[in-house]
Structure 1
């Protein structure tokens, strides 16, 4: 029986390892990782001492060591629902979720945790999400899902993501409560000393003037403003969700400068000893694609507590 103080997991669609850090914090050991983006692999290697395997579609289940928990922040391409003549089993083929389904089916781990954008729940009027849950349950898993906001778990970033958790046995699971206010980091806690920053982070004067002119309300410093698709400038004492494909001035600190690499990492809860070995634009993309680590840590802790309770507590007494 697995000792849930010391378990094995795999890190699929690994990015720069945010989910890995979360599950290592509760005793997990990563035995396999997969990521195809070359820059993300450079960052992963620098921080974990290993290069992830490449394209998951080219990896067979027998190439993956045995493990206890599957982890994945999988990209969501639109699902094309094939007609009844093809049957239910074909609904996920052609999507990257199918790769997760395939590995779960062949390896039968005790549990999994998947992360995705909030909009997954609404895509195609909820049909996409329903297909995912149905397929996970059809594999025999007890499945739980909830949208969690990074703001509630200690980082100053409004980032809502759907977390899907599943267990091979009928385990009772509750998503973690938000942390107390005094445990939440403020924007001022994650900002670097501006006196020591490279001038390259400051935007041109005309951009500052435009942002200040379009900002409709006064707000105490420090703040982060972002420009929405309609051109409106909204300031907050937290960041909006970091995005991989956003423009270089998508978010600005005090309408004056772009966040540094370290600040972007801190907004996602990465530790300060996390190494930066790629360009600024690559880090912007990588943090935008990553996860808020405090959310993952909280979910990991709740999952391991539920597994311990079932396998070493309730189940043995029944």
Structure 2
């Protein structure tokens, strides 16, 4: 079976990949891509620098078969963001966490604080600039992003708000359960970042004759 190599590629992963096994895993990936004939470059980019109110750092790897191409990663938008940009109105009460879960979150955070670490739930407000990173485990207890509610327990983001946080368009259809939605959006790329990178890739490819 013959293998047709694409003219360019884009890979994305958690930034911790760069330090896995003392950096050996990342070096192996780069070496293999280079051995396949690609000119490779990479950079850590944060979604909150591309118009999304989420502190989401990821390493992006781009490669071209044409070595004359000088790829530069897009620069940030420098656009102010706020959690209110992704919030829906008239939220179902089911997204407000229970007294039991809220107490558990607070007790766990206090216990961690007494041990000298900062692990625990993350509470954000509508006027916060950004949230912490949305992950696939969000469906479990929502602790990484809890939205403050006056005179009430905090609430989890809705699946649609998670879609907004990742930069999906408003007409993107969510046809699976809440739990599946949380898993899928938590594992997704930040659309706004990928869009800007791919625009640059396409622009450069259009200039080269293969």
TM-score w.r.t. the length of structure 2 is 0.83
Who is 1:231 aligned against? 120
Preserved contact between residue 42 and residue 60 of structure 2 (Cα < 8 Å): yes
Whole-angstrom CA distance in 2 between matches of 1:175 and 1:132: 19
Who is 1:220 aligned against? none
Out of 190, 193, 196, the residue aligned to residue 298 of structure 1 is 196
Deviating beyond 6 angstroms after TM superposition, the runs of 4 or more aligned structure 1 residues are: 212-216
Cα distance change of structure 1 residues 307 and 292 upon mapping to structure 2, 3 Å threshold: same
Unaligned runs of 5+ in 2: 111-116
Q: How do 1:1-318 and structure 2 match up within 5 A? A: 106-170=3-67, 171-181=69-79, 184-193=80-89, 196-208=90-102, 230-231=119-120, 233=122, 235=124, 237-246=129-138, 247-250=140-143, 251-254=145-148, 256-311=154-209
Q: CA RMSD in A?
A: 2.5
Unaligned runs of 5+ in 1: 1-60, 63-105, 217-227
Whole-angstrom CA distance in 2 between matches of 1:256 and 1:234: 8
Post-superposition shift, 1:230? 3.2
Cα distance change of structure 1 residues 259 and 233 upon mapping to structure 2, 3 Å threshold: closer
Whole-angstrom CA distance in 1 between matches of 2:97 and 2:123: 17
Preserved contact between residue 215 and residue 233 of structure 1 (Cα < 8 Å): no
Deviations 1:272-311 (A, max 9, x none): 1111111100000000110100000010111112222344
Q: Secondary structure at the match of 2:163?
A: helix
Q: Secondary structure at the match of 1:107?
A: coil
Whole-angstrom CA distance in 2 between matches of 1:157 and 1:208: 23
TM-score w.r.t. the length of structure 1 is 0.56
